[in-house]
Amino acid sequence: MAKQIEQLDRVIIRFAGDSGDGMQLTGDRFTQETASFGNDLSTLPNFPAEIRAPAGTLPGVSSFQLHFADHDIMTPGDSPDVLVAMNPAALKANIGDIPRGATVIVNSDEFTRRNLAKVQYEVDPTTDGTLDAFKVSSVPLTSMTVEALSSCDISKKDAQRAKNMFALGLLSWMYNRPTEGTTSFLKSKFAGKPAILDANLKAFQAGWNFGETTEDFAVSYEIKPARLPSGTYRNITGNLATAYGLIAGSTRSGLPLFLGSYPITPASDVLHELSKHKRFGVRTFQAEDEIAGVGAALGASFGGSLGVTTTSGPGMVLKQETVGLAVMTELPLLIVDVQRAGPSTGMPTKTEQTDLLMAMFGRNGESPVPVVAPQSPADCFDAALEATRIAVTYRTPVVLMSDGYLANGSEPWRLPDVDDLPTIDPGFATEPNGEDERYLPYKRDTETLARPWAVPGTPGLEHRLGGIEKHSETGDISYTPANHDLMVRTRQGKIDAIARDVAPVEVDDPTGDADVLVLGWGGTYGAITAGVRRVRRSGAKVAQAHLRHLNPFPENLGEVLKSYDRVVVPEINLGQLSMLLRSRFLVDVIGYNKVRGLPFKAEELADALREVIERD
């Protein structure tokens, strides 16, 4: 008898297990199945910095949360509807986030006395009533996998390792996911290992079949595709979108991309990705340290490449002296800071927005740089392209502020038409611009205040750049007081004037009469938007805006801030944008700040907004 199918509009699933259990892969495959089915989705991988913490311990727990729906959604979800816990540690580490009534599927094979003891469970929580508030399914995932693979020519250990595919098969059945993508993925991944491929395919199928036949699961669910704007879509993470945006910046400017980088979590995937794309003329340089990474990038920029460096907070600190040199030499340079929890080593795999003031002010002297932030994983593409445009047009280093949540999270991305992407004109200097055939490297464009960019190899324009203060036209060393004052103001003025060339901040205020504005930046866009929707659904009014440009601010920002009674600024820091807004606009914004290493939840933001809206 066919099982009942229930319709849902959205589901949040969290896969959790040991670092070695393959939870990221399982989550990623389920995501791809869901993407190809046409749901809107948003993901949150969450893993420890340790590569393989001792098996079965709390520090070793890795999880992957996926929110998918038949409508557009903004976040990976506050509270999972389903938790898949591959061992007692995964259960213990995650059960606190699971709301009453949710489904909990545990791998009962792993609930041995020894494994329970590792996480201080004295009694098996699946049998002692601890989980009475949940719908618990105890499934012997490991032994059923081994059983299903008894005919395979592989070791017992390899058979056990395939249990994540069994779990994926079970969940794929439960939510009626298309399976072709996973099948072809496995075929390609294990192309050289037929026995392992066979085992994984069988485990995946066995999981599906188990769902279909067992009485434990009476119902499967269907979530219809979302009605997204027409176009071709793919699922994409923030780091991948960043890499693609940089390549797009290179092809649209005609500047070969040179990446100087040192591996650092959570930015390394951008280095990994770019190192694959040599066909685009991309040169990647894994430097001896963070300083050399940005130094080589600046050297390449001097030579006429699009110099890029990628890093996270601890590396950003080290690069700042070189960023200052780029400010002084006025060369294009992109610094991608994938922010993570700090200070110091902090929590490498956890997200934060705590580098904003460092990007703004973390250098000696008056050293302004434009700061651009993406707002969602897919938006990293557009933000990287915009950062490139500003860097090349204005001959300046630009900081692109991604974060760990954007970097590893994913969402559907509607592919842009390549021909519609902006073109970027490097406008290299080829002729002298001064009297007597002299080249004046600091004689500026009157419109943009950008200096000319003459690359080595250009005859007649030989010149010397450097970190020492220079004359406002000739670029010769100058210690003249008035010249220094002029240069300090000119460098600042050039960056300030970029405000004229960036899109005004757009306010979403459907009724046009909200009293409260919520203003965010960077990776919190999804959570803020979801929170705003909840507030509006409950009948309250709130306006929303999100900043792409943190420096300079869009020209209309002051006016926008002043047209609302109260402005709420949620940030995953202790109020860095708030500080900038207060000092710049004398508006006493209300911060909402949590620094837990995790994205905001929609509901907490909704509560915070309601509280401000209801204030007298």
Partner 1 sequence: MTSANLNGNDEGTLAGLKLVPSTDTQYKAKDFKSDQDVRWCPGCGDYAVLAAFQSFLPQLGVPRENIVMVSGIGCSSRFPYYLSTYGMHSIHGRAPAIATGLATSRQDLSVWVITGDGDGLSIGGNHLIHALRRNVNINVLLFNNRIYGLTKGQYSPTSEAGKVTKSSPVGSLDQPFNPVSLALGAEASFVARTVDSDRKHLTSVLREAADHPGASFVEIYQNCPIFNDDAFTPLKDPAARETRLLRMEHGEPLMLGEDRGVFAGELGGLEVAEVTDTNRDRVIRHDAHRTDPGYAFALSRLDLPAFEHVPVGVFRNVRRPVYDELVNEQVSDARSERGEGELASLLAGGDTWTVD
Which residues, numbered 180-239, are part of the site for partner 1 (CB under 8 A)?
Answer: 181, 225, 227-235
When binding is defined by CB under 8 A, the residue of 460, 493, 504, 510 that contacts partner 1 is 460
Distance (Å) of CA 575 to CA 404, 430, 581: 19, 46, 10
Q: Rounded to whole angstroms, how far apart are CA atoms 10 and 541? A: 25
The binder of partner 1 chosen from 72, 97, 321, 607 (CB under 8 A):
321
Dist CA 443 CA 470 (whole Å): 12
- Interface with partner 1 includes 322 (CB under 8 A)? yes
- Contact region with partner 1 (CB under 8 A), list: 49-57, 118-126, 323-331, 594-602: 323-331
Q: Which is nearer to partner 1, 10 or 283 (CB)?
A: 283
Residues 505-534 interacting with partner 1 (rule: CB under 8 A): none
**Least distance from C-beta 382 to partner 1, angstroms?**
12
Q: Which parts of 58-87 interact with partner 1 (CB under 8 A)?
A: none
Nearer to partner 1, 287 or 579 (CB): 287
Cβ 474 to partner 1, closest distance in Å? Answer: 9
Q: Is 432 in the site for partner 1 (CB under 8 A)?
A: no
Rounded Cα–Cα distance for residues 161 and 127 (Å) = 26
List Cα–Cα distances, 17 to 58, 91, 154, 202, 573, in angstroms.
10, 8, 23, 21, 29
Binding to partner 1 in span 356-375, by CB under 8 A: none
Residue 366 has a CB neighbour count (10 Å cut-off) of 12
Contact between 464 and partner 1 per CB under 8 A: yes
Q: Of 155 and 423, which CB lies nearer to partner 1 in the complex structure?
A: 423
Residue 351 CB, shortest distance to partner 1, in Å, is 24
Backbone angles phi, psi at 261, to 5 degrees: -150, 155
Nearer Cβ to partner 1, position 460 or 504? 460
Output the smallest distance, CB 373 to partner 1, in A: 22
Nearer residue to partner 1 within complex by CB, 299 or 558: 299
Shortest distance in whole angstroms from residue 234 CB to partner 1:
5
Q: Which is nearer to partner 1, 210 or 302 (CB)?
A: 302
Tokens representing residue 534 in the block: 């909840």
Output b/e per residue, 32-51; b: 16+ Cβ within 10 A. Answer: bbbbbbbbbbbbbbbbbeee
Other C-beta atoms lying within 10 Å of the C-beta of residue 313: 23
Cβ 261 to partner 1, closest distance in Å?
11
Task: Note whether 312 and 348 are within 8 A (CB).
Answer: yes
Q: Which of 179, 458, 556, 593 binds partner 1 (CB under 8 A)?
A: 458
**Residue 252 is encoded by which pair of tokens?**
């649209």
Which among 267, 432, 286 is positioned nearest to 339, based on CA atoms? 267
Closer residue to partner 1, CB minimum distance, 180 or 447: 180
Nearest 5°: the CA angle 434, 436, 439 is 40
The smaller minimum CB distance to partner 1, of residues 346 and 452, is found at: 452
List binders of partner 1 among 243-302 (CB under 8 A).
244, 247-248, 251, 256, 258, 260, 277-283, 285, 287-289, 291-292, 295-302
Q: Residue 7: how many CB atoms within 10 A of its CB? A: 9
The residue among 32 and 108 lying less far from partner 1, judged by its C-beta, is: 32
Give the type of residue at 113: R
CB of 336: closest distance to partner 1 in angstroms? 16
Size of the site for partner 1 (CB under 8 A): 71
HEC string of 318-344? Answer: HHHHHHHHHHHHCCCEEEEEEECECCC
